[in-house]
Amino acid sequence: MKLGYTIWSDYHYTHFLEILPKLKEIGVTTIAIVPQYLLDRDDRARLIEIYLPIRDTISAIRDTGFELMVKPHFVPRDSSGKMPSNWQGWVGTVKMNSWELLMGRIRLELESLAKDYQPEYLCLGSDLIGTHRNRIQWQDIITSLTTFNTSLVYGNTFWQPLLQRFRWRLFWSVLFGSYNRVLNLALPTRRFIVPDDQQTDVGRSIYRSGFRFSLDAVGLNLYWPPEDNKYDDIEEIWFNYQQNGLEINYVEATENWQGDNPLWITECDLVGPHRSDMQYYQKWWETCISVWGGRCELIMCHEQGPPQWIEMARSSSFIIQEVKNWQQEKKKSESEMVSGLIPNWQQNYELASRSTNHDRVNTNNISLEEQPGTADFQAAIARIDQEENRV
């Protein structure tokens, strides 16, 4: 398991020289940088980059010895030229006449980012639920990026596992034209207000969403549990949560949604009013790492408020020790592979960058298959060796 951190705000880009050594001290291995773009409103489908000192930041990331993830954010502007008042993820409910052309612009930008910065990981997008129906355009984007030596992922919203888990129970309300239950499941807080005239469009986009393409891992933006209460037993909430008449085991729902695919948590943080309570914030993060450390390959912190994660992590003996344990497990795994021993698949298998279709995992997320046996593991390692040694 690897721990990562996201540089995305003005504070990060002006203090990255101070931030990076502290992250190295904690044991963070991966840094994500977030180029930001405005999707312009007119038929020319302009993609306007918001200036950020990305090149200098990336040079410092490389010099400090981190892995690099590039994770662009695309923010739409509506017909009045303003950004939506609620949430950038509702791309597609904003009325534009040139989505296909705009997807072509996004493809060119992603290709440029992969070529210019050569990241170990490239996150194609995050929460762009309204564009998921543009399957041909997304497949063209993914196909074009497989030529680069970078691992591809997409940041799905935290409710995607729940949509699959409760698909049929939601179906009956949707059948009669009501999307309230979908909205309540996806947006259990009042942080995002859906205007009355958008509720049907937003609910329909959420219900139909699902980014099911062949990538190197399944990405999940993990913001759970909902920010409504302060819980005495945070771990229990991951496995047993009551909401709108639904009994939610979020961990089980995610494992079924994930299937056999590697899981990367592309965003993670506590959101809401209780984030300012540093004792509770530390408890939340320690519980999150305890629950997910053995269930995913990568956890990326994406701070959703004033910067405080670094100081919290530095003061947490639990987090520091867990990172050391992961590093020791990785060294042991590498030693066993060299000596010919077969490591545990779930804990020790490290995903390699891939650039051919036959090496990519299936993200249809239909069922939870059994873990691969010895023969399957050896075949996978053989494919990786062949890929690494290719001419």
pLDDT the model gives residue 82: 66
Helix (H) or strand (E) holding 181: helix 180-186
Distances (CA, A) of 251 to 80, 165, 248, 256, 374: 41, 11, 9, 9, 26
Distances (CA, A) of 201 to 75, 92, 192, 197, 256: 18, 9, 15, 8, 28
Any idea which residue has 């044991």 for tokens? 27
Mean of all residue pLDDT scores within the chain = 83
pLDDT at 361 exceeding the cut of 70: no
What are the pLDDT digits (tens) for 114-129?
999 999 999 999 888 8
What are the pLDDT digits (tens) for 57-92?
999 999 999 999 999 998 877 666 666 655 566 666
Residue pair 345/377 in contact (Cβ under 8 Å)? The answer is yes
At residue 175, the 3 state secondary structure works out as: helix
pLDDT at 373 exceeding the cut of 50: no
What are the pLDDT digits (tens) for 144-157?
999 999 999 999 99
Winning range, highest mean pLDDT, from 46-60, 200-214, 293-307: 293-307
Q: Please give the full DSSP string across 36-81, using - where no structure is assigned.
A: EEEE-SSTT--EEEEP--HHHHHHHHHHHT-EEEE--EEEE--TTS
Strand order in the sheet with 36-39: 47-50, 36-39, 73-76
pLDDT at 348 exceeding the cut of 60: no
Q: 347: how many CB neighbours lie within 10 A of its CB?
A: 16
Q: Please give the full DSSP string across 248-296, using - where no structure is assigned.
A: E-HHHHHHHHHTTS-EEEEEE---SGGGG-HHHHHHHHHHHHHHHTTT-
Phi (first) and psi of residue 142, to 5 degrees: -65, -45
DSSP letter (8 states) at residue 351: P
> Comparing 100-104, 299-303, 332-336, which segment has the lowest mean pLDDT?
332-336
Any idea which residue has 């000192």 for tokens? 53
AA identity, residue 166: F
pLDDT the model gives residue 78: 62
- At 210, the pLDDT band (50, 70, 90 cuts) reads confident
Taken in order of first residue, the domains within the chain and their CATH numbers are 2-388 (3.20.20)
Q: 17: how many CB neighbours lie within 10 A of its CB?
A: 11
pLDDT at 364 exceeding the cut of 70: no
Mean pLDDT to the nearest integer, 223-239 = 87
From start to end of the chain, where are the E strands?
A: 2-7, 30-33, 36-39, 47-50, 67-70, 73-76, 121-126, 151-156, 218-222, 241-243, 246-248, 263-268, 298-301
Distances (CA, A) of 321 to 67, 234, 312, 316: 21, 20, 14, 9
- Both structure tokens of 208: 């139909």
